[in-house]
Amino acid sequence: MMNLDIAKMTVPERIQAMEQLWDSLSPQESEIESPQWHWDILDERVRKIENGTAEFITLDELASLKK
């Protein structure tokens, strides 16, 4: 296996390496199990939508939060 010196890589090189790593995992998606806390958050969001307490914002509102 190749040992990469990540600290010496440029930002674009590190991003490309991450993309290649992710692409290599995608075909094995069924072998990757989401942690329980992911499911808990999704369940809570569905409950809020179903009982009418979910709050939604527009993309413009989201963008203004980042400023």
pLDDT value of residue 67: 67
pLDDT digits over 6-55, tens only? 889 999 999 999 999 989 888 777 788 889 999 999 999 999 999 999 99
pTM over 0.75? The answer is no
Identify the three-state secondary structure at position 44.
Answer: helix
pLDDT at position 1:
62
Cα–Cα–Cα angle for 41, 47, 49, rounded to 5 degrees: 105
Q: Does the pLDDT at position 3 exceed 80?
A: no
Read off φ and ψ for residue 42, nearest 5 degrees. Answer: -60, -45
Q: How many alpha carbons fall within 13 Å on the CB side of residue 11? A: 0
